[in-house]
Chain A
Amino acid sequence: MEELQEFLEGDLYPDRADPNFKEELRDELWRTLESRRLEKPSRDD
């Protein structure tokens, strides 16, 4: 439970990620999500 609490309070940590990394990761994740979603067969087929 302490670890979960620690996880929740991650916003309070002083060590921050490189903003460029954060933005690039965001873009990469979204691109991957979209390509996987578009590859899924349509439920209507």
Chain B
Amino acid sequence: MALVREKRSPENRANHSADGDEAAAGFGPPSTWTDEALLARISAGSEEHFDVLYERYFQRIYGFVYVRVRNHADAEELTQETFTVVFRSADAWAGKSTPLAWIYGVAKNTVYNHLRRHRVHDQRIQQAGPGLMVSDSATWACTPEDHLEMDRYARAIDARLQGVATWQAEAFVLRHVHNLSIREISQQTDRSGDAIRSGLYRVKRLLLQTDTQETTRAS
């Protein structure tokens, strides 16, 4: 934190370019480097500088997001989205603002887009009413006993999915129950294909971990 305050002092801002040049030239440990210098080195492929920037911003982003969504599953997802956007578009940043302001802007937009999607989603649910939960899929055209079995299965899946973000659980169901493509899920959830794939991987890993635990317990 002391490093952050040092960077914000007037003297430091006045010497920003000089310090940045010195830092970029390799003087001093990477933890003292400016964000601009770190981004430049990351673009050149330096994992050490990537780690410094990641550590510098991780809790800032996570804390900022968590305060607004109040659950860790969504906070994780939004933190991942924010960092993905930051590192994917770092080349296009081009010094239009300070990295701090830019990364803060990405985090803010990510959170606000998420909150807006949830508001729209909740409104749709309320407008649709109880009929929304009835599926016309052939999978559900079966006997009452089958319905009971599937209901038990769905509840078991639902319990396991409590630890993931709402949209990730929704994407999993859309993919593996309704057989939608990644592109279709992306359009429906307004998420990128990469985010969908990452979310599906996370859910699968969670389910596999749970299965492994139950198998071990049973044996």
Q: Across chains A and B, which 6 residue pairs bring their CB atoms closest together, nearest first?
A: A10-B60, A13-B63, A10-B63, A7-B104, A7-B64, A17-B62
Q: Which residues of B contact A17 (CB under 8 A)?
A: 58-59, 62, 72, 75-76, 79
Q: How far is the CA of A27 from the CA of B50 in the complex (A)?
A: 11
Q: Number of A residues contacting the other chain (C-beta, 8 Å)?
A: 26
B83 at the A interface (CB under 8 A): yes
- Minimum CB–CB distance from B2 to chain A (whole Å) comes to 11
Do A37 and B45 have beta carbons less than 8 Å apart?
yes
Do A29 and B108 have beta carbons less than 8 Å apart?
no
Give 9 A-B contacts (CB < 8 Å), ordered by A residue: A10-B60, A10-B63, A11-B59, A11-B63, A18-B76, A25-B79, A26-B58, A29-B50, A37-B43
B67 at the A interface (CB under 8 A): yes
Docked complex: A1-27 residues within 8 A CB-CB of B: 3-4, 6-13, 15-18, 21-22, 25-26
Which positions in B face A, CB cutoff 8 Å?
1, 4, 42-43, 45, 47, 50-51, 54, 58-64, 66-67, 72, 75-76, 79-80, 83-84, 87-88, 100-101, 104, 107-108, 198
Do A30 and B76 have beta carbons less than 8 Å apart?
no
Do B75 and A29 have beta carbons less than 8 Å apart?
no
Do A10 and B61 have beta carbons less than 8 Å apart?
yes
Q: How far is the CA of A18 from the CA of B146 in the complex (A)?
A: 39
Do A26 and B76 have beta carbons less than 8 Å apart?
no
Do A33 and B60 have beta carbons less than 8 Å apart?
no
Do A15 and B84 have beta carbons less than 8 Å apart?
no
Q: How far is the CA of A12 from the CA of B84 in the complex (A)?
A: 24
Q: Pick the contact of B101 from A4, A12, A26 — CB < 8 Å?
A: A4
- Minimum CB–CB distance from B78 to chain A (whole Å) comes to 11
Q: Which residues of A contact B60 (CB under 8 A)?
A: 7-8, 10-11
Q: How far is the CA of A28 from the CA of B202 in the complex (A)?
A: 12
Do B54 and A26 have beta carbons less than 8 Å apart?
yes
- Given A10-B64, A15-B63, A29-B84, verify A22-B58 contact (CB < 8 Å): yes
Q: Pick the contact of A16 from B43, B59, B88, B100 — CB < 8 Å?
A: B59
